[in-house]
Amino acid sequence: MTTPLPNAEIVTRKTQSLAVRTAALVRRGLRDLTVETHWRVRKVVSARHGSVAVSPFGKIAALETPVGGRAVSLTVEDMEAETAPEDLPLAPESVLAAGLGISSVRWSPDGRYILAASPDWNPEAHLFDAESLSLLRTYPIPSLDDSFAWSPDGNLFGLASAADCTVNIWICRRAAPDLDEVPHGSLDPSLAIRTDSAEAEPGDVTVLAGFGPMAFSTASGLIAVALRFPDEWADDHILLAGAPGLSTGTIVPIQGNATDMSWDARGENLIYCAGGKVFAANLASRAIAPLPFNAEICRCHPILPICACYSSWLKDSANGRLFITEMRTGRTLDECDAEGVLDLCWSVDGERVYAATRDGLAYIYDHSLG
């Protein structure tokens, strides 16, 4: 009997080793061979709530309006520290019911204030001081809408009201908006649509179903907000208007429904997600170009031409992923598997990304890891 050569045994074992890894390599698309991850994961309590916002200082604000008569709650939790969530006080007389509709919560850019809005409250919007854990003011806003945002420098606050179909901007005093005062700028997008449309005829009436994501660009002095229409399969439009005056507005038609938007650091391009894909709307040319990556949530870096994104669908897998990508080339700089991401945010210095999921997990990207 002939003894097998040593090199034959080596080849056989190597083939078996590769075979064991084949499924994982295909599912990951070979990315694990080229990308060193700098993400870490930890459990948090607050992210299990329905409406979640992540601050640039690594904190979660979670608003829960449960069905069944349980108390409405708003909590703040540190994503990096092993501390228990802190409850913010709600005015008992303001809580009308629970589970009437979708609630929203946002952080001010300096991490000082939280604005939470819910149809379960009267008035519908509450402004909280996250440092003192106190309720500062309540506002009788005309309707609850998912479209409200601070400008990156905290000097402006925008609210798109579905009740009267207007976009409004207030000038903030140390990042605190006075929503009960007359707005500094106000615009009816339906008028801008009729002005921009070459097919519009005198007497035409544009009906809006509501608004989608909103984003300010401090660099270009603009606000962008998605406009939704009542037709079942209607595409969104994006309103671009000067801030804070809102004296004029330009309408940009898009394909699909916008799920998120973010301005690049130079204020030249509006990056938005629609139908799971990512596009760049150029400010100068008003041209729209698809970017070479897919996502439902996108956040541009405050300085660099890179973007932090979340996609709920990963090729050859039922999982989603968080990733950092170059906007121009689509080259993935870093990534990790993730599911059910509700919100994500760059840190103030642009060194970290904070993300929270509906399953109570916090994902933290830090380039210094590893």
Residue 6: what are its φ and ψ, rounded to 5°? -55, -40
Q: Is 319 left (phi over 0), alpha (psi -120 to 50) or beta?
A: beta
Look at residue 213 and tell me if it is in a domain: no
Q: Sign of the CA dihedral 70, 71, 77, 81? A: negative
Tens of pLDDT along 221-240? 999 999 998 887 889 999 99
Residue 65 lies in a domain: yes
CB contact at 8 A, 224 and 214: yes
Q: Which two tokens stand for residue 33?
A: 């061979």
What is the pLDDT at residue 173? Answer: 84
pLDDT (average), residues 269-287 = 92
- Domain assignment present for 76: yes
148-150, strands of its sheet edge to edge: 148-150, 156-161, 166-171, 185-187
Beta partners for residue 87, in sequence order:
75
Position 320 pLDDT exceeds 50:
yes
Confidence band for 144, pLDDT divided at 50, 70 and 90: low
Q: Which of helix, strand or coil describes residue 194?
A: helix
Output 14 or 115, whichever has higher pLDDT.
115
Which band of pLDDT confidence, cut at 50, 70 and 90, is reported for residue 204? low
Give per-residue pLDDT as tens, 4-50.
Answer: 444 433 333 333 333 333 344 334 433 443 456 789 999 987 666 66
CA distance 282 to 269: 5
pTM, to two decimals: 0.83
For 134-187, give the DSSP string.
EEEEEE--SS--S-EEE-TTSSEEEEEETTTTEEEEEE-BTTB--TTSPPSEEE
Residue 178 falls within a domain, yes or no? Answer: no
- Quote the domain boundaries for residue 133: 51-140
In a domain, 362, yes or no: no
Q: Which residue has the higher pLDDT, 118 or 202?
A: 118
Phi and psi (nearest 5°) for 343?
A: -160, 150
In a domain, 132, yes or no: yes
Please report which confidence band the pLDDT of residue 206 belongs to, taking 50, 70 and 90 as the band edges.
low
Query: SS3 of 114, please?
Result: strand
**Mean pLDDT of the region 129-158:** 86
Q: Phi/psi at 194 (nearest 5 deg)?
A: -70, -35
Let me know if residue 129 belongs to a domain. yes
Asked whether residue 352 is assigned to any structural domain, the reply reads: no
Number of domains the chain is built from: 1
Q: What is the pLDDT of residue 195?
A: 57
What mean pLDDT is reported for the chain?
A: 81
What are the pLDDT digits (tens) for 56-71?
999 999 887 655 555 6
